[in-house]
Chain A
Amino acid sequence: MDNREAKFVLNAYRPGGQDANDPRFAEALEQVRRDPIFQQWFDNSVAFDTAMTEKLCATPVPSDLRESILTGVKVARPPKWKNRWRKMTIAAAAVLGATLGVLIWHNTRPTPVAGWQLQALDAILSSIARNESHFDAISSNPVDLVKWLRANHAPVEEKLPNGLDKLPTIGCKTFFWRGKPVSLICFTLPEGRAIHLVMTNVSTESDRAIKHDAKVIQQGQWATATWREGNMIYMLALEGSRDELQHYVL
């Protein structure tokens, strides 16, 4: 082993000395001891590596990163309760997706709600219905889901509208529709049915035209309500009648 080869090997020698007993370095270190000039190179190399390690290990870490990791994984864990509510929610989502899908793809009649609402629900609820793991986060606690959405910069206000935060949740999903971020939270109603809240930020003139008072319409077996609060647009969807949905629309 000549000095060039030894130098090549010693570039992998950790400055903390953890590798002192590694036989791969033995010959190179012996070479260092025999050659004072090479020893100086090695000392300088170790000093440089030590300084780099110290500087790199002093790089600050975001103060909320730990909590964000723990909360994110906590809400993503499937809850232990797997009861009929979940199954009914998945089934309901499938029906909603199919219903809205028909309206979108076949255009059988004019739809009184915006395309993003229909396409978003069709795409997302259908995919969730096919496989429940498509939720980005799963929790029965709406606070956890809101926290998760906020941590991931998805559209959501800290307080959910219309007292929905009192309902247990199934999960949430984030996605983009034409470059526009959209959030979805699925809740379970006391009798086991599902109700879905879709949220997105105001970004276009047509968004701004949406009124504060909810517009409740019937879409086949489904009722939807759409309204705007400040910079947030909400859509609530329920398999049932307008009257039933009206109960959750203030």
Chain B
Amino acid sequence: MSDDRYASAPEVAGEVIDGEAIVINLETGIYYSLDRAGALIWELLTSGYDAAETAEMLASAYGVPVERTRDDTVGLAGELVREGLLLARTDGSRDLKPVVLAEPARSYETPRLERYADMGDLFALDPPTPGLADIPWRLPDRSAEDG
């Protein structure tokens, strides 16, 4: 199955910068993060590379055996599909986007998908506060007590 190809799901927004990926499922409001090898796998899979190509590029970038990166790539791709972030591609077309492989800053570690399902609750705890702009701000008097 390692020649499977994927695309990010339509309701998903992901971005990779400096070896860090943040992915948002805009439909569920769940946020995800990936770093290092995981971010690179996300970037390669969503740029049109299949799982085998991704594993090879990962192995080459980190200098580790391809058997290891293949297992990790397939495992992570499966997790991303289960989370609804990636869709398996069934068409035969190839629209590869170039990906620049930077020198990894750290040694290879098995990628981990972090899932943050509580972002909506965290907003609900601290909702917007209208009306503040009209206040002539002064600080509370704090000279009454010595620190």
Tell whether A and B belong to one assembly. no
- Interface residues, chain A, with chain B CB atoms under 8 Å away: none
B residues with CB within 8 A of A: none
